[in-house]
Each structure stands twice: as C-alpha cells, then as structure tokens.
C-alpha cells in the first residue's frame, strides 16, 4: 500500500492548494489547484473548493475564448470575422457571445460579398477560404503555442497544442510541455526543501507522484518535518510523520520519543472527535520493522477518563470460533480482546491506564434478541446503540482496514468517502436476529441488525476501551 498522507501532510496540501487557487489567473492554473484539492477528498472544504476551482477554470476558458473572439472581430477582416464566429460559437450563452457570433457572421458575409465582387472568379475566394482553414489558421495557432512554450508558459502552450490535435508535431510538443511543467514543479519543490519549508515541500513533492527522485526527496522532507514537529511539541503529528518513513535513518527511535511525550503531555487534552495514539499493534504487515502505534478516535470524555475506538480495523477475527448460540458474555472474541490482544497491544504501564468498564448487554432493538448478561471488560466492542449514539453520520463509521488486517483475510473494498484506504465490515457486540448471529456495521457505515453468523471469518475488529490518561 502506498504511503498515506498524515493529517499534517493533508493540511500542507490544502494550504498549498488554497494559495494556488488565490494566485490562479488561467484555466490551467485553476485546474492544477483543483487537482491538489482532489488529492485530499473529504479534508476540510477541499471538495467544495475543488468544484469552485473547476468552475473558475471554466469561466477562464470561456473568457479566454471570448476575448480571443473579440480580438479577431476587431480586425475587420473576413478571416477575423470567421475566426470570431467560430470562437463565439464554442461558448454559447456566455455573456453576449450569441449576439457577437451573429454580428461576426453577418459582417463576415458582407466582407465576403465585397471581396467576391472585387474578384470575378468565385473559385478564387473559395480556394482562399479553404487555404486559410486548412493551412494558415492552424499554422498561426501552432506558432502561437510555440511562442508560449519558448516563453516558459508551458501550461498555456499545452492547452493550445492539444487544440491542434495531430497538426505537425503537436503531440510531441504536448509531452515536452508536460515534462517542462513537471520540471518546474520539481524545481519549486526542491527550492522549498532547501529553504527549510518542509511542510510546503511535502505537498509539492507529493503532487509529483514519483517524478524523478521526488519519492526520495519526499522521505527526506517528511523526516525533517517530523523533527520540526517534535521540537515544536506537536507529538501526535510527529508520530504520524515518523511512522510514514519507518526504516529511514532513526525514524523509529524518534517516533518512540514522540509517542512517550504524546502519552505524557497530549493525551489528556484531546477533545471528542480528535485522534490519539495509544498502544501498538502490527498494522503494515511487515513484522521486520516492528509494530505500529494504534490510532484511536475519542468518542467521549469525562472527568473519569476517555472513551476510545480504534480508527482502523486492527485484525480479522470471528465473533465466535464455532457456530453456536452465544452472546458477548461468552463469545471467543471477547476472550481474545481481553487476553491475547490486551497483552500484545499494551505495555504494563499502558495496561494500568485502561480501566475495567461495566459493559451493558445490548438487546437487538429490531428483533428483541436477548443479549445475555452485563460484563466487566478492559477491551470490548461497541454495541449497535452506542454506534448510533456516538457516530451520527454513516460515512464516519466506515472502517479503514490495515494491511495486516487484509492479510488476515478481512473483507475489503474501495471506500465510499475515504480516498486512500480500503474499508471492511466490522463486528458489534449486539446479538443479531438469531442467537447464533451478531450485528455488524457494513462497509458504507450503516448498521445491519439482522447480523451474520458468529463464525463468519472475514469481519474486522475495532476495539473500544476507556482509559485514565493520568495512569
């Protein structure tokens, strides 16, 4: 799986895109900004700004054609009128383009009549028009595109070369423009990196998608940016950045340092809806580089502690090891969460922070299936009613699954709203329609109260727990 953007990196891309949007003056520039917003779907108002950029790009396109048409019309020549009519015809309904087209067509016809009267041979006029359409007009447009290319205005040049289609070497020139554009962006990203503006450099190198050695430079920038975050006391963000470059220099050691400071200084201040790191578990399916810190979403917060659920599905497990009439109280998944998982995911000092919680037996609201007895657990699953209470939007319940979880056999598919990961369905502790089934959340985030057989083997596990940050 490709390295995913951290929240800090998405913020950097967002800020770069906003700046690009504010400075944009042409269709290609607005489309480039839209592309950056599209690379971080769902982040802040990126989707809306992407649409706005595309709208502005279309406005620029129409204004460019409109102004070019007006310029052609002012020439007061047959060719100018014809070119103007053609250009106005490509933007019907824009400003007074329809009226301008009609005027240009009429003026062109009038000029043509005068021109024709001056030449007795009508064939000469036809030949001249055909010659202009076939040779002169494309040549002029080709030379204009070449001039733009030589002036370093590669995006505009590419636009006009594309309009020329297969004329001369337009296809080759398009490729040269695209290479030149990438070189410009690479040089700009390299300048940001050399100036120590790592956050902006990360966004710039990310937008190059592996061009030249941009991936290596991206790793260098991420490492340096992680160091800045660590020095600035932004430990959670530093963890994310250092984990994204595990194996590079001493990134793992720096991630460990950031984690300890995060738990000590930041954990208790996280608000509802924010994420924190706590504990560790295999997630990238590469055991050679050790476990990864677990990211949790804060569902609730009281004076007595914080209620957390893992952001991702951490493992693929059956609700119960065999088909049987079971409840949360006696299922094998509860045993595993409070046994093997608890021991593997948390250090002794972290285990001391996890409080034993009174877990209510949750009756199926639609079918009335009896849920068994209440339990006391350190780690547990959410109930159907808790999912409804703590996550009001279905897409917010979508469960990203880790590479390790996928390797264990979880059902995974492309996401509906998330851009960079796959999602899976995940178990809830509420019994399904029948006592040998359990409720689960579908890939789109909706809760399926019918449930599925407790021995289904492709479900993701999202542990939940209460912690006391003070220890």
At 81-94, the pLDDT tens digits run 888 888 889 999 99
CB 324 within 8 A of CB 454: yes
The DSSP 8-state label assigned to residue 360 in this structure reads P
Rounded CA gap, 458 and 427, in Å?
Answer: 10
- Per-residue pLDDT tens digits for 437-468: 999 999 988 999 999 999 999 999 999 999 99
Annotate 50-73 with DSSP letters as a single string: HHHHHHHHHHHHHHHHHHHHHHHH
- Parallel, antiparallel, or unpaired: how do β-strands 399-401 and 312-313 relate? parallel
Q: Chain-centre distance of CA 151, in angstroms? A: 34
State what percent of residues in the chain have pLDDT above 90: 64
Q: Is the pTM of this model over 0.85?
A: no
Per-residue model confidence (pLDDT) at position 395: 54
Has residue 266 got a pLDDT over 50?
yes
- Residue-wise pLDDT for 130-188, tens only, equals 444 444 578 888 998 888 899 889 999 999 999 999 998 999 999 999 999 999 999 99
Contact 32, 184 (CB under 8 A): no
Helices (H) and strands (E) in the chain, counts: 18, 15
Query: Which residue pairs, CB below 8 angstroms and at least 24 apart, start in 141-144?
Result: 142/167, 142/168, 142/170
Say how many C-beta atoms besides its own lie within 10 A of residue 386's C-beta. 22
Taking residues 330-341, report their average pLDDT.
98
Residue 419: pLDDT over 60 = no
Q: Which of 111-115, 196-200, 358-362 has the lowest mean pLDDT?
A: 111-115
What is residue 223's predicted lDDT score, i.e. its pLDDT?
Answer: 97
Please list, in sequence order, all residues whose beta carbon lies within 8 angstroms of the beta carbon of residue 467, skipping any fewer than 6 positions away: 267, 278, 305, 306, 308, 353, 354, 355
- Mean pLDDT of all residues in 19-39: 86
pLDDT of residue 189: 94
Give the per-residue pLDDT at 122: 44
> Does residue 388 surpass a pLDDT of 80?
yes
Whether the per-residue pLDDT at 30 is higher than 80: the answer is yes
- Output the six-digit token pair for 449: 């109260």
pLDDT at site 116: 56
pLDDT for the residue numbered 293: 97
**Model confidence band, residue 396 (pLDDT cutoffs 50, 70, 90):** low
The more confident residue out of 175 and 2 is 175
Query: Whose CA is closest to 217, among 197, 202, 238?
Result: 202
274 contact partners, CB below 8 Å, separation of at least 6 = 297, 298
Q: DSSP letters of 377-415?
A: ESSB---HHHHHHH--SGGGG-EEE-HHHHHTT---EE-
């Amino acid at each position: 799986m490709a390295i995913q953007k951290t929240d800090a990196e998405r913020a950097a891309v967002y800020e770069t895109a906003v700046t690009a949007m504010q400075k944009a003056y042409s269709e290609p520039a607005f489309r480039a900004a839209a592309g950056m917003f599209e690379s971080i779907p769902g982040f802040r108002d990126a989707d809306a700004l992407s649409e706005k950029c595309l709208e502005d790009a279309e406005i620029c396109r129409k204004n460019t054609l409109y102004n070019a048409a007006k310029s052609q019309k002012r020439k007061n020549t047959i060719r100018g009128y014809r070119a103007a009519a053609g250009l106005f015809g490509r933007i019907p309904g824009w400003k007074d383009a329809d009226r301008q087209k009609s005027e240009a067509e009429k003026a062109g016809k009038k000029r043509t009549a005068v021109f024709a009267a001056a030449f007795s041979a009508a064939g000469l006029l036809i030949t001249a028009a055909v010659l202009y359409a076939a040779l002169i007009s494309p040549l002029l447009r080709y030379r204009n595109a070449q001039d733009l290319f030589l002036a370093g205005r590669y995006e505009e040049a590419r636009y006009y070369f594309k309009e020329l289609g297969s004329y001369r070497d337009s296809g080759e020139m398009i490729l040269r423009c695209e290479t030149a554009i990438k070189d410009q962006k690479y040089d700009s990203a390299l300048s940001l990196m050399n100036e120590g503006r790592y956050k902006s450099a990360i966004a710039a190198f990310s937008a190059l998608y592996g061009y030249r050695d941009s991936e290596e430079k991206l790793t260098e920038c991420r490492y340096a940016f992680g160091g800045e975050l660590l020095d600035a006391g932004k430990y959670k963000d530093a963890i994310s950045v250092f984990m994204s470059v595990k194996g590079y220099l001493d990134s793992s050691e720096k991630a460990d340092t950031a984690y300890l400071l995060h738990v000590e200084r930041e954990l208790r201040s996280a608000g509802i809806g924010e994420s924190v790191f706590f504990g560790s578990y295999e997630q990238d399916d590469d055991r050679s580089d050790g476990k990864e810190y677990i990211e949790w979403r804060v569902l609730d917060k009281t004076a007595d502690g914080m209620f957390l659920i893992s952001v991702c599905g951490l493992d693929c497990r059956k609700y119960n090891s065999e088909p049987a009439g079971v409840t949360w109280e006696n299922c094998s998944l509860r045993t595993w969460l409070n046994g093997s998982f608890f021991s593997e995911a948390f250090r002794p000092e972290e285990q001391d922070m996890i409080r034993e919680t009174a877990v209510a037996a949750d009756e199926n609201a639609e079918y009335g299936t009896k849920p068994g007895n209440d339990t006391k657990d350190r780690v547990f699953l959410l109930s159907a009613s808790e999912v409804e209470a703590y996550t009001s939007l279905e897409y917010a319940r979508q469960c990203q699954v880790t590479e390790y979880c996928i390797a264990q056999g979880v059902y995974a598919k492309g996401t509906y709203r998330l851009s960079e990961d796959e999602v899976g369905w995940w178990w809830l502790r509420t019994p399904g329609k029948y006592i040998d089934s359990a409720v689960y959340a579908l890939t789109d985030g909706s809760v399926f109260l019918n449930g599925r057989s407790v021995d289904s083997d492709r479900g993701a596990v999202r542990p939940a727990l209460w912690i006391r940050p003070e220890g």
